[in-house]
């Protein structure tokens, strides 16, 4: 296992432990890993091979319900049918309609995948592949705000409190 994958796995373990130890976090559910298929993008029938960080994430578990702030992290199989889910479809459509300068509206559908969503609020997270980058950028939206992270590990570092700001270059963001 590469150092990158080991780091991703370590961060995922720490996030789960942090959730387990937080009495206010609520129940979480992690389903067994799924690595048999690539990740599906928002373009019908278009997939991407898993990057090292994504491979480690999906080796850790497939679906992760309530992984962070009520967001459900999707399994690879769920990304395949994401736009068939009315809740996810509505979130994607709202984001495209109201945020034309940000993903998913600002990128080609084949360069964007849904990573997670909150079934109770207008909150979702996208993976965006730019040019020849191996690791996708993580865009996390919640209501009228967003955070942007250079890769999955930087996103996970933020969630566990190792990083205090995102990579958007905007004003300091607090975890």
pLDDT at 2: 78
In this predicted structure, the answer to whether residue 79 has a pLDDT above a threshold of 60 is: yes
Band the pLDDT of 171: cuts 50, 70, 90.
low
pLDDT > 70? residue 1: no
Which band of pLDDT confidence, cut at 50, 70 and 90, is reported for residue 110? very high
pLDDT digits (tens, 9 = 90+) for 3-60: 888 999 999 999 999 999 999 888 999 999 987 889 999 999 999 999 999 999 999 9
Per-domain residue ranges of the chain: 3-159
Instruction: Write the secondary structure of the chain as one string of H (helix), E (strand) and C (coil).
Output: CCHHHHHHHHHHHHHHHHHHHCCCCCCCEECCCCCCCCEECCCCCCEECCCHHHHHHHHHCCCEEEEECCEEECCHHHHHCHHHCHHHHHHHHHHHHHCCCCCCCCCCHHHEEEEEECCCCCEEEEEECCCCCCCCEEEEEECCEEEEECCHHHHHHHHCCCCCCCCCCCCCCCC
The whole-model pTM stands at: 0.93
User: Quick one: pLDDT band at residue 173, thresholds 50, 70, 90?
Assistant: very low
Q: What is the pLDDT of residues 80-109, one digit of tens each?
A: 999 999 999 999 999 999 999 999 999 999
Looking at domain 3-159, which of 3.40.50, 3.30.1360, 1.10.20, 3.40.1580 is its CATH number? Answer: 3.40.1580
pLDDT per position as a tens digit, 115-151: 999 999 999 999 999 988 899 999 999 988 999 999 9
């Amino acid at each position: 296992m590469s150092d990158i994958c080991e780091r991703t796995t370590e961060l995922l373990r720490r996030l789960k432990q942090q959730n387990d130890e937080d009495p206010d976090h609520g129940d979480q559910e992690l389903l067994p890993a799924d690595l048999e298929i690539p990740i599906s993008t928002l373009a019908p029938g278009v997939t991407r091979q898993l990057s090292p960080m994504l491979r480690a994430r999906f080796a850790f578990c497939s679906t992760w319900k309530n992984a962070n702030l009520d967001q459900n992290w999707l399994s690879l199989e769920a990304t395949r049918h994401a736009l068939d889910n009315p809740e996810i479809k509505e979130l994607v459509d709202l984001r495209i309609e109201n945020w034309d300068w940000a993903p998913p509206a600002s990128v080609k559908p084949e360069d964007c995948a849904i990573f997670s969503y909150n079934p109770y609020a207008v909150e979702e997270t996208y993976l965006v592949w730019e040019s020849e980058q191996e690791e996708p950028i993580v865009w996390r939206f919640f209501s009228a705000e967003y955070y942007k992270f250079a890769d999955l590990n930087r996103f996970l570092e933020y969630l566990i409190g190792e990083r205090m700001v995102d990579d958007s270059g905007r004003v300091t963001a607090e975890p």
